[in-house]
Amino acid sequence: MDRERLLDMDERIGPVRRLSLGLIAVALLICAPWVGLWTLLPLALAAIGFQIAERVKTRVRRPEYALFAAWTMSELAIAGAVAMMDGAATPEMAWLAIPVVTLSARFSIHGVVLGVAVAVALISGVAFGVDATAVIGDPTLVIAPITLVITIAILSTALMNSDRHHRSETVIDPLTGMLNRKALSTRAAELEQQSRVTGEPVGLIVGDLDHFKQVNDSRGHAVGDAVLREAAYEMRKELRAFDLAYRLGGEEFLVVVPGAGTEDAALLAERLRLAVAGQMFAGDQHVTMSFGVSASDRAEPFEYSAVFEKADDALFEAKRNGRNRVCVDEPARADRSPALA
């Protein structure tokens, strides 16, 4: 969930971040007659770093590392530009607080603390490295920007925690911790728009716990809830950072796999099936799951309702053919797992 929020917030921050870098670049151009054009070089390097992070963040298991590295490059870029000016004596030292505003929107509290430490270290390094004598003579040159950085981090984190709490109440399923239908409607619309731009396919996996009603009827709803909770946890462990898991209601789940065609989505569904079938839940309950898989075609933009309908049909086929299996929506209706009674 933290990684999903990280990627989602990074998408939202992206345009604003580019605007901020542009404004800093304009300010440096205006100041060029006094400080020179060399101050633009670190900023250009930061922009390149963000471009690289954008390309790799959905391909790596821990995208937070790539994004934090890009964030650190932005702080280094500003620190480099400030050092080329006049170090602690320049008003631009306060610019090192700008990237700090985005920390709490994307990273955990550990990331915020680490980011603040990076910013404070850069302020101190630039100040003492350029003109230590000036700083010793007037410590406010360092105290003021450090205070600004820490204060912004504290306030932005408090505001983000409050916002996150209220948003989680509306988009998180309280039983399983998965996203709910409300979150799905928003994400589906975003993926449809992205697909029109990128041409990348989107895979959908619809899963359903087999004979779940028997668990509720024989052991009670408390055990049934525990089974749902633990099965959801086992599925989440098999997912990548950018795969999205939702509880549609009851014992039915959906996994959205951006960038995956039918074959890749089917392989993931099989891993999910094995993960659930290989565990005992609520102490002594062995349950299985059936899955239906479909994906959009690269030749056509992703349309959620059409792809979901095909995946749901495939799920029905899996249940009709004996359950505890993966079926793919395709002309041959290929069964992707052993036929089990």
- What the block records as the tokens of 145 is 């920007």
Is residue 118 a contact partner of residue 168, using CB atoms and an 8 Å limit?
no
Nearest to 234 by CA among 282, 173, 187: 282
Three-state DSSP state, 246: strand
Question: Does any domain span residue 176?
Answer: no
What is the Cα gyration radius of the chain?
Answer: 25
Question: Do 297 and 250 reside in the same domain of the chain?
Answer: yes
Judge if 249 and 123 occupy the same domain: no
Considering its fold, how many domains does the chain have in total?
2
Q: What is the pLDDT of residue 301?
A: 87
Structure confidence by residue, pLDDT tens digits, 312-338: 999 999 999 999 999 998 753 444 454
Range of the domain at 129: 2-171
Q: Report the alpha-carbon distance of residue 192 to residue 298 in Å, rounded.
A: 12
- Residue 251 annotated in active site: yes
Half-sphere exposure of residue 233: CA atoms within 13 angstroms, side-chain side? 11
- Same domain? For 154 and 204 the reply is no
Q: Which of 130, 150, 171 is the last residue of a domain?
A: 171
pLDDT of residue 307: 96
| DSSP tag of 260 | -
* Residues in Cβ contact with 54 at an 8 Å cutoff, skipping those fewer than 6 apart: 14
E strand or H helix at 231, and its extent?
A: helix 221-237
Instruction: Please report the pLDDT score of residue 52 as a whole number.
Output: 82
Instruction: State the catalytic residue, choosing from 75, 230, 251, 270.
Output: 251
* Positions of the chain with pLDDT lower than 70, given as ranges: 1-8, 58-60, 87-88, 163-170, 331-341
* Cα(10)–Cα(107) distance, integer angstroms: 10
Closest by alpha carbon to 202, among 248, 253, 244, 252? 244
